[in-house]
Amino acid sequence: MSTRTTIPIQIRVDKKTKDEANELFEELGTSMSGAVNMFLKQCVNTGSIPFRIKKPHPSKELLEAMEEAEALAKDPNASTYDSSEEFWAAMEE
């Protein structure tokens, strides 16, 4: 039996995230409390957030550019160039 005293903490999270996390933790054999405890212990052990924080999705602009590139690749009338010099010459026209 652990001699450590536990205390409750309260956090706010949107319902969808909470429900999805609970489902995941159940599949992994743990609980929300267990997962939060693992996270906090890793923060203490590493002296940092224990994972890379990054923007999870491409920006709207990138997605639009990718769609445009895909459409151009399928367009038989789109201009094509054999070299960057040829491309830049066409841009200067």
3 in any annotated domain: no
**Mean pLDDT, rounded, of the chain:** 91
36 in any annotated domain: yes
30 in any annotated domain: yes
Of the candidates 25, 26, 33, 31, the one whose C-alpha atom is nearest the C-alpha of residue 9 is: 33
**Domain identity same for 42 and 64:** no
Containing 71, the helix (H) or strand (E) segment is: helix 60-74
- Number of domains the chain is built from: 2
> What is the pLDDT confidence band of residue 56, given thresholds at 50, 70 and 90?
confident
Helix-then-strand count for the chain, H and E: 4, 0
Q: What's residue 53's pLDDT?
A: 86
32 in any annotated domain: yes
Domain with 33 in it: 15-46
9 in any annotated domain: no
74 in any annotated domain: yes
